[in-house]
Amino acid sequence: MFAVGSLVLGVLLVKLLDSPRTFDDVLDQVSILGRETGTEAKADAWLETAVARTQRIAAATQVLPKVRVAFLEWVDPVFGAGHWIPRMLEWAGAEDLNSRRGTDSVRVTWEQIVDFRPEVVVVAPCGFKMSRSLKQAEHLVSNPGWGQLPAVKAGRVYAVDANAYFARPGPRLIDGVELLAHLIHPELFGWTGPPDAYAVVA
């Protein structure tokens, strides 16, 4: 992205900026970071590309019926998505009634997930890589009504690398939008990122 390492980038974000709560906040802070580090031109170029990538996905999905997606930021207890995740889901063509944009992730009951009848379930425990997310996802299997969820019947339950693509307010959120688009609409969007970005939960 810039001539700034990921660790330095994270430190600067913490020191210079307020904690972002929405996707737009994240983009704004990349712009501020560019100015603060003397890499404004590179930041602007990255932002232009990032916006184009998300708009391409949004344009393709906005004409399609919304897919019911349960994005779980924790499994015991169950937490729905917050902060920037709902916007990412919207661009990717999802509807998630248990997520809240611009707020902390919200605790929900398992009954709310069952009643929502998700067609896709994304298990993304905050800060966990895919292998740990997969182990967490296995705890859901014993929950009442699990086998009756449309997502389970269709084999569309996924554990993802939340640490890389969803939990951190940084550049790889753009990759996260593309990953969601692939999981929700694989017929339209391929995935060219690392193969361990996600796994199907058996």
pLDDT tens string, the chain, 202 residues long: the values are 454 455 455 545 444 456 788 888 888 888 888 888 898 899 889 889 999 999 999 999 999 999 999 999 999 999 999 999 999 999 999 999 999 987 889 999 999 999 999 999 999 999 899 999 999 999 999 999 999 999 999 999 999 999 999 998 888 999 999 999 999 999 999 999 999 999 999 8
H helix or E strand, kind and range, residue 153 = helix 150-153
Angle between helical axes of 6-16 and 23-36 (0-180°, round to 10): 100
Give me the pLDDT at residue 155, please: 97
Residues of the chain with CATH 3.40.50.1980: 67-200
Looking up tokens 């709310």 gives 112
- Per-residue pLDDT of 4-26, as tens digits, reads 455 455 545 444 456 788 888 88
Cβ neighbours of residue 166 under 8 Å, at least 6 residues apart?
A: 85, 88, 124, 160, 173, 176
Strand 78-80 vs strand 67-75: parallel, antiparallel, or unpaired? Answer: antiparallel
C-alpha 119/C-alpha 68 separation (Å) is 5
Percent helix / strand / coil, the chain, rounded to 5: 50, 15, 35
- 40 half-sphere exposure, CB direction, 13 A CA radius: 4
Query: Which CATH class name applies to 67-200?
Result: alpha beta
Give me the pLDDT at residue 14, please: 47
For 177, the token pair is: 């939008």
